[in-house]
Structure 1
Amino acid sequence: MEHLSSLQNLQALSALLSTPADEESDEEDGKQNVKPMARMGPGHIGALSSASGKEKKAVNSAYLKKNTKDIWDVDEVTEGTHLDDLADLRPQPEYEIILKQTVGTEDLFLGMSRKDPSSMCCESMLVRVKLPDTKASDLVLDVRETFLDLRTPKYKLGLHLPHPVHSGEGTARFITERAELEITLPMNRPLDCINLA
């Protein structure tokens, strides 16, 4: 008797879960019977977009033309935006960044300290900027912890520094023979007292 009641329960459950014959319009078209929930995918979540199918295909094809290995587009990245003036069309001068470290004979020949040739053991940073046809009186220099801003009547340079520096302890000198500005900045790294001890 119990067996019959469980069979009746299963049949009732089956009737509840099956779709009525009048809602199965897919079978009339010759398609397989697919439940409405099975036809939904991740694209059905959220508000429906008002773009037509042709517009969606055009957007998708434009996206696929780009290199898919790129993480971002070059136009999306703007460097030095917090101090950069887009209306200023002065060119950027040539520059180079050189990391320096103090090395003595005990480091070079005996290897007594824990210094190595890596950039982690460097104490200061030298920024050389070539400024042709410029006088020392024309320079306007502003150094912050992670940014260097240099302005002259002919050039502008907004440079993000690779390491934080002590901006108040740096030195700068202009070499007129080469028309070159040398800026020496001691690096500010919180673990130098441990790493370089």
Structure 2
Amino acid sequence: MTTHSLSYAKTNSLSPGFFPAKSSVAAQFSLNFLGYNCLPRKLKCSGRQLRNFGAIRASDSGSTSADGSMERIEARKILGSTGDGDTRHIGYKIAMPSPFEIASNVVTVGRVPEKADIVISVPTVSALHARIQKTDENLLITDLDSTNGTFIDEKRLQPGVVSAASPGNLVTFGDTNLAIFRVYKFKQEEVTSEPEESGAKLEDAPSENLESTS
């Protein structure tokens, strides 16, 4: 029997209206990659690349400068797969889980789609394995009485007890070969720059709204 492993999250997509076809305002996007050493590196990308990267949600907070420019910062948490792919303990080959973003405030992780928001199709992952709550600084992880346990680095979590995973920590859902992930933290900065040289005034530029859709 051949089993394929898929990992996905129920995330939201950007409204097409967020990037207007014609605009007199130039937008610049950058990602501050904090990583496990928390030393920022700016990764610049275009609007198209940013849309393809994953779900983005508007921050409720923002600041407007005297000239009308707007800055908005959004922290994002991503779990990147770091397993070695060894499947000898299972007895057959399966695909490695994909990285996924924690796009909602609270999500569940497990093997069965009907029970979990984020599905990791690895036999050693329980049907409903763990719960993850997103905060500004870290992820709060609770093991839901899984069979093979949930770990932060090498520490096994006590079922029902909330533990914090910071950027750089390794989180394991029952399998150190196939279901181990590193926590990454990104900050999205959206900066609306000066009007183009065409002479258009800032107030004449179409407004840009960041929306999340189901």
TM-score normalized by structure 2? Answer: 0.23
Quick one: higher RCO (CA 8 Å, sep 6+), 1 or 2? Answer: 2
Higher strand proportion, which one? 2
Larger Rg: 1
TM-score normalized by structure 1? Answer: 0.24
